[in-house]
Amino acid sequence: MADEKKAVAKGKKANFFVRFGRGFVNFFTKIGLAFKNTWHELKKVTWPTKDKLINYLIIVVLMMVFLMLIIGLLDTGASALVNLLMR
């Protein structure tokens, strides 16, 4: 460490392998820090109760079925219209 400071002070660049090694270590340190921060954020989340989760699931499934029916009807109507125009 002291040698690096002396080399920088003299205006010399650090060795390629030293710079590459530092970048390599910093890369994995930053990845570890990202996972650590993610873990801390997940601890702050207020997770829904089982009852709320079931309610949300039912709402999502019903909305999917509703939208599927709407899109299916629109598709069938558009197909019928195209068939009428093609005759």
* pLDDT tens for each residue of 9-55: 566 777 777 777 777 778 888 889 999 999 999 999 999 999 999 99
Using CA atoms, how far apart are residues 56 and 65, in angstroms rounded to an integer? 14
One-letter amino acid of 87: R
Alpha helices in 1-49 (DSSP H): 2-9, 16-44
pLDDT of 54 reads 98
Every domain of the chain and the residues it spans = 1-45, 47-87
Q: How confident is the model at residue 56 (pLDDT cuts 50, 70, 90)?
A: very high
19 contacts: CB under 8 Å, gap ≥ 6: 13
- More confident: 64 or 15: 64
Check: pTM over 0.85? Answer yes or no.
no
Tokens of 12: 């010399």
The dihedral built from the CA positions of residue 61, 66, 69 and 72, taken in this order, carries a sign that is negative
Instruction: Specify the pLDDT at position 12.
Output: 73
pLDDT, residue 28, reads 81
Sequence-distant (6+) residues with CB within 8 A of 23 are none
The amino acid that residue 32 corresponds to is G
Q: Which of residues 82 and 10 earns the better pLDDT score?
A: 82
